[in-house]
Amino acid sequence: MSSQQNLTILVITLVAVPLVYVLQHINVTVTPSNDHRVFWIDDRPAELNDYALFPLNHALLGAESKLISKKLVCGPGQTLTVTGLDFACDGHHIATAKVQTSDGKPLEPFAFNGTIPEGQAFAWGSHPDSFDSRYWGLVAIETTHRLRPIW
């Protein structure tokens, strides 16, 4: 192999490796459910008040698990209260559930009142129509990756 070919391979490697790393750590949220759209994926689990990326299985999302991003707003040891369609954490209003999707499909609000168990959290999207814990319940924190907002 010539020195020119070696230099070409070196340059390609020096560009490709960091580019692949960056692309594997960028998350773009395509729905308006969060205040931010572009995130850096941290390899650590999310903590309370972090944005989180995690898999979700739900009939409204189809047969396969989908990766979704939400903010963890009520966590272990805190009190989640559901009164009618209103959700509160330690007495502070989080959101109000809806009884149907924007295209008319019925929604069943999550029914829970009490202390959130260790390792669990309520995941919330800032948009009023966000499909979040109001409808599918608590998320296991160990299944999350912390998201850091970029834009």
Question: Residue 69's closest CA among 149, 151, 135?
Answer: 149
Q: How far separated are the first and last CA of the chain, in Å rounded?
A: 44
Residues 70-111: pLDDT tens digits? Answer: 999 999 999 999 999 999 999 999 999 999 988 898 999 999
d(C-alpha 46, C-alpha 53), whole Å: 8
Q: Tell me the whole-structure pTM to 2 decimals.
A: 0.86
Helix or strand holding residue 118 (H, E): none
At residue 92's C-alpha, the angle toward residues 87 and 96, to 5°, is 30
Q: Could you say which residues of the chain have pLDDT below 50? A: none
Query: In Å, how far are 8, 96, 112 from 1, measured between CA atoms?
Result: 11, 66, 67
Domain boundaries, the chain: 3-149
pLDDT score of 88: 98
Tokens encoding 69: 């991003």
Q: How is domain 3-149 classified at the architecture level of CATH?
A: Ribbon (2.10)
